[in-house]
Amino acid sequence: MAKPGKRLRSAREKVDPDTKVAIGEAVRLVKENATAKFDETIEISLNLNVDPRHADQNVRGVVALPNGTGKDVRIAVFAKDEKAEEALAAGADIVGADDLAEKVQNGEIDFDRVIATPDMMPVVGRLGKVLGPRGLMPNPKLGSVTNDVTEAVTNAKSGEVQFRVEKTGIVHAGIGKASFSEEQIRQNLDAFLGAIMRAKPSGVKGSYVNRVALTSTMGPGVRFDVADVGASSQEAAE
């Protein structure tokens, strides 16, 4: 394994991986240590006390970040006729029906999000083995199966983030860029944590969030106190 470079070693010296800090300090440290030559993504990772093998503990949701993600999201829309025209007018990058399904089957997946009108789901359903493992399968609960393609495309382009717990109980997502101000990152972080708390399964016993950390693409992870998650989500609600 290659040794970490001088920049990363210097960043790690400022962060004790075993120490939890206040949430505001975590934001400051992560932003301070995002010193790569590109605009690093600010990412959050949570370890939840859930067992995704049980359907009632499959944490999943969507949240609109107040300051967007800073990422140019490419949207594919499965729609026909008038709805296809609406999707293009709203800013969708790729629009199609059976022709788009054929491209996906052939491995042409040049997009980050998929939206579909309900009448197209029989076509999209056949792509489950391709889209499912990539987390791209449209879902009515997340607003990505809808006749209001204009709203769906607009929301996706403006900074809407989908999240889903992995088999190991981990949820992670990008919530901004290092070029964002500390206040913008904190606002996005509060919104995301609020969505996670609202998605808490009723069957969870004991603690819900075991561990939580903030990091940048090339920087070290910074852990913050789990107690701050509840407080932060309450602030976002208010």
d(CA 25, CA 15): 11
Instruction: Identify the CATH homologous superfamily for domain 17-69+160-237.
Output: Ribosomal protein L1/L10, rRNA-binding domain (3.30.190.20)
CATH topology of domain 75-157: Rossmann fold (3.40.50)
Task: Assign 163 to helix, strand or coil.
Answer: strand
The ranges of the chain annotated as CATH 3.30.190.20 are 17-69+160-237
Q: List, by residue range, all CATH 3.40.50.790 domains of the chain.
A: 75-157
* 206 contacts: CB under 8 Å, gap ≥ 6: 49
**pLDDT in single tens digits along all 238 residues of the chain:** 445 555 455 545 566 667 889 999 999 999 999 999 999 999 999 999 998 888 888 898 999 999 999 988 999 999 999 999 999 999 999 999 999 999 999 999 999 999 999 999 999 999 999 999 998 999 998 899 999 999 999 999 988 898 989 989 999 999 999 999 999 999 999 999 999 999 999 888 888 999 999 999 999 999 998 776 765 555 555 5
Q: How far apart are CA 176 and CA 71, in angstroms?
A: 8
Q: Whole-model pTM?
A: 0.80
106: which DSSP letter?
T
How many Cα neighbours within 13 Å face the side chain of 108? 8
Cα torsion 72, 65, 56, 224: sign: positive
What is the secondary structure of 47-75 as a DSSP string? Answer: EES--TTSGGG--EEEEE-TT--SS---E
For residues 91 and 192, what is the distance between their CA atoms, to the nearest angstrom? 25
The closest of 85, 183, 199, 104 to 142, measured between CA atoms, is 199
